[in-house]
């Protein structure tokens, strides 16, 4: 079974919180991903999602990102993305969602 | 032979508790057919979008979803059928317009667009299958 999904969190540059997800954001993991993202953003609305180890993102995942983006803006911050590759990058680009976020190559570039 | 002969299809309850099992069956069939890892992720995208739509919206009462996979020479076909209310997901682009501000964007509408982007062809028919009128989706993917 390839349902791996794990998360990590650490202090990034310039006051950003880095939240990393490894594995998949799909129908089965979207709720857990949102719950963690919401909790992190409520603590620090300046949060960047490290996607370098994310393997799969479906539209259930896009919905999570969009909701967290709105939440961060409502709290006066920003929810940014870093390091998407492969199909994760394609999904962001094909859906046009990449235009709604700051997208950096690495969370170390967070400004 | 009738292309929609019921014995070629697998029938499951259209319930989220079957999602993982159906996914495993489809992935196993695709692996056996030699679908590349890169294409497998595209297959999973399409699979998830269509199946979740059927499970979430097709039926008001409990119903079934039928799934069929076909191994072609260079491509892999996945089909879904259900007896729920008639719904053509390909009818129009449901994504928010590009100039829609973030605050007004609804999170739906992206899924079927991703399906169209990642599959070689996607077809919808409303036709009789298994004794009733059915929504029938057929999606073709390059293996490599």
Mean pLDDT across the stretch B102-130?
84
The dihedral formed by the CA atoms of A13, A16, A22 and A24, expressed in degrees to the nearest 10: -150
Classify B108 as helix, strand or coil: coil
Q: What is the CATH number of the domain that holds B63?
A: 3.30.565.10
**Looking at the domain assignment, is residue B1 inside a domain?**
no
| Domains by residue range for chain A, with CATH | 18-109 (3.30.750.24)
**Looking at the domain assignment, is residue B102 inside a domain?**
yes
pLDDT in tens, B14-65: 999 999 999 999 999 999 999 999 999 999 999 999 999 999 999 999 999 9
Chain A residues in contact with B113 by the CB 8 A cut-off are: 94-95
Cα distances from A50 to residues A14, A59, A106, B15, B30, in angstroms, run 15, 18, 7, 33, 30
Comparing CB atoms, the residue among B48, B114, B117 nearest residue A27 is: B48
Cβ contact A95–B110 (<8 Å): yes
pLDDT in tens, A48-99: 999 999 999 998 999 999 999 999 999 999 999 999 999 999 999 988 889 8
Using the predicted structure, report yes or no on whether residue A2 has a pLDDT greater than 50.
no
State how many domains chain B has.
1
Range of the domain at B18: 6-142
pLDDT in tens, A32-50: 999 999 999 999 999 999 9
| Single pTM value for the model | 0.86
Residues of B with CB under 8 A from a CB of A: 16, 19-20, 24, 38, 41-42, 44-45, 48-49, 52, 95, 98, 102-103, 105, 107-108, 110-111, 113-114, 117-118
């Amino acid at each position: 079974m390839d349902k791996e999904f794990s998360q990590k969190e650490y202090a990034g540059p310039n006051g950003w919180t880095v939240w990393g997800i490894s594995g998949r954001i799909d129908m089965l993991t979207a709720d857990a991903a949102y719950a963690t993202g919401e909790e992190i953003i409520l603590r620090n609305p300046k949060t960047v999602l490290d996607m370098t180890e994310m393997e799969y993102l479906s539209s259930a995942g896009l919905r999570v990102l969009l909701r967290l983006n709105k939440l961060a803006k409502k709290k006066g911050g920003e929810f940014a993305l870093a390091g998407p590759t492969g199909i994760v990058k394609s999904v962001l680009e094909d859906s046009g969602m990449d235009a709604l976020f700051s997208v950096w190559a690495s969370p170390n570039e967070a400004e | 032979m009738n292309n929609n002969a019921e014995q070629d299809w697998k029938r499951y309850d259209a319930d989220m508790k079957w999602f993982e099992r159906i996914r495993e069956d489809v992935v196993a069939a695709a692996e056996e057919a030699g679908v590349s890892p890169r294409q497998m992720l595209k297959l999973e995208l399409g699979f998830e979008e269509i199946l979740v739509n059927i499970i979430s919206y097709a039926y008001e009462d409990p119903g079934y979803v039928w799934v069929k996979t076909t191994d072609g020479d260079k491509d892999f076909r996945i089909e879904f059928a259900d007896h729920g209310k008639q719904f053509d997901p390909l009818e129009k682009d449901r994504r928010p317009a590009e100039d829609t501000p973030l605050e007004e964007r609804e999170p739906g509408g992206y899924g079927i667009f991703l399906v169209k982007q990642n599959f070689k062809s996607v077809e919808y028919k409303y036709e009789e299958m298994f004794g009733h009128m059915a929504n029938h989706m057929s999606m073709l993917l390059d293996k490599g």
